[in-house]
């Protein structure tokens, strides 16, 4: 099998950063895990990460997930990330790639629609699945849309809520606004940016975390990352992974073709 983290690794210099290379084994789970990291960068978005074959398939979702089936959210496919990336919460230094603050916004389990495989969904560009998260629940669809290759090498998808008991029409941005704190630490954006408050609890495991985790995303500089105050922290706790930004693409909401969703 091809190395699914090859792209991820090629974008980072592990001799200069403590970002997880994905070589350390994160604990296995019988159920497939998912993570959503709300990322207050140049543009606020949410990074959706779905566990599949020991990596996190990743999409950067413009404006985050919605509860409204009519509200299709652009989801830009980015490179698969290592599993332990899904436990990161902290600040990325200003001026760096992806500079801003990352909140663990949701996590839990996901499963493809019964009778369908993830491979088929990815291949055919329509992944139907159910979230069992703290916040995201019920059925969603990821539908791949036609991509302007001249403008972006990324695949663009739409994240669409299926009309089920968890759907809420007209929700717009209330869902995200009402849930502006971390599921892993209870902290809000400003606390995380300041490195204050509780350290996030682990879900996936494998990544050691502190309340003031700062990822230095500039591999050419050898600044020491901001470290936890310490006392209780073992010496080897240098969790300073790098976030590399996805390429921002023009927002194009082309409706998906094919069978109706949410029926
Ligand atoms: Mn991001």
Query: For 144-169, what is each residue's pLDDT tens digit?
Result: 998 776 677 789 999 999 999 999 99
Measured in angstroms, how far is the CA atom of residue 47 from the centroid of ligand 1?
A: 5
Per-position DSSP letters for 138-205, written without gaps between them:
EEEEEEE----TTT-SSPEEEEEE-SSTT--TT-TTHHHHTT-B-TTT--BHHHHHHT-SPPPPPSS-
Q: 207 falls in which pLDDT band (50, 70, 90)?
A: confident
Distance 102 CA to ligand 1 centre (A): 8
Say how far apart CA 216 and CA 150 lie, in whole Å: 31
HSE (CB half, 13 Å, CA atoms) of 208? 12
pLDDT in tens, 18-62: 456 777 778 899 999 999 999 988 888 999 999 999 999 999 999
Model pLDDT for residues 232-260, shown as the tens digit of each residue:
333 334 444 444 444 444 444 455 454 44
Separation of alpha carbons 192 and 104, rounded Å: 10
Q: Using the 8-state DSSP alphabet, how is residue 124 labeled? A: H
Of 155, 156, 154, 157, which is closest to residue 141 (Cα–Cα)?
157
Residue 200 phi, psi dihedral angles, 5° rounding: -70, 145
For CA atoms 230, 233, 237, 239, the dihedral sign is negative
Instruction: Give dist(CA 31, CA 207) in Å, integer.
Output: 19
pLDDT for 208 beyond 50: yes
CA of 165 to the centre of ligand 1 (A): 29
Give the model confidence (pLDDT) of 188-204 as tens digits: 999 998 889 999 999 99
Distance 249 CA to ligand 1 centre (A): 13
Between 36 and 208, the more confident residue is: 36
Q: pTM of the entire structure? A: 0.78
Ligand 1 centroid from CA 46, angstroms: 6
Cα 21 to ligand 1 centre (Å):
18
What is the gyration radius of the CA atoms in the chain, in angstroms? 18
Distance CA 209, CA 182 (A): 14
Choose the catalytic residue: 151, 196, 235, 250: 196
- b/e string for 142-157 if b means 16 or more Cβ within 10 A? bbbbebeeeebebbbb
Task: Express as a percent the part of the chain with pLDDT over 90.
Answer: 49
Cα 120 to averaged position of ligand 1 atoms, centre (Å): 26
Q: Exposure string (b/e) for 195-215, b if CB count within 10 Å is 16 or more?
A: bebebbebbbebbbbbbbbbb
Does 224 qualify as catalytic in the annotation? no
What pLDDT does residue 160 have?
98
CA end-to-end span of the chain:
37
231 alpha carbon to ligand 1 midpoint, in Å? 31
Residue with tokens 């403590």: 18
- Say how far apart CA 226 and CA 214 lie, in whole Å: 6
């Amino acid at each position: 099998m091809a190395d699914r983290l090859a792209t991820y690794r090629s974008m980072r210099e592990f001799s200069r950063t403590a970002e997880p290379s994905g070589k350390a084994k994160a604990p296995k789970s019988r159920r497939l895990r998912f993570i959503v990291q709300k990322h207050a960068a140049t543009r606020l978005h949410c990074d959706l990460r779905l566990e599949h074959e020991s990596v996190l398939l990743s999409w950067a979702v413009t404006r985050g997930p919605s509860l409204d089936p009519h509200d299709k959210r652009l989801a830009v496919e980015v490179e698969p990330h290592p599993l332990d990336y899904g436990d990161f919460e902290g600040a990325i230094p200003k001026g760096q790639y992806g500079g801003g603050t990352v909140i663990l916004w949701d996590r839990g389990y996901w499963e493809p629609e019964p009778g369908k495989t993830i491979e088929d969904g990815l291949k055919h560009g329509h992944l139907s699945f159910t979230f069992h998260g703290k916040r995201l629940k019920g059925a969603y669809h990821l539908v791949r849309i036609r991509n302007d290759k001249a403008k972006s090498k990324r695949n663009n998808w739409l994240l669409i809520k299926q009309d089920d008991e968890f759907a809420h029409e007209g929700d717009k941005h209330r869902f995200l606004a009402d849930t502006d704190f971390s599921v892993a630490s209870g902290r809000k954006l400003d606390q995380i940016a300041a490195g204050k408050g509780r350290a996030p609890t682990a879900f996936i495991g494998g990544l050691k975390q502190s309340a003031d985790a700062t990822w230095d995303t500039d591999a050419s500089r050898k600044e020491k990352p901001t470290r936890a105050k310490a006392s209780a922290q073992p010496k080897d706790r240098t969790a300073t992974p790098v976030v590399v930004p996805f390429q921002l693409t023009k927002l194009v909401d082309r409706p998906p073709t094919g069978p109706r969703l949410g029926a």
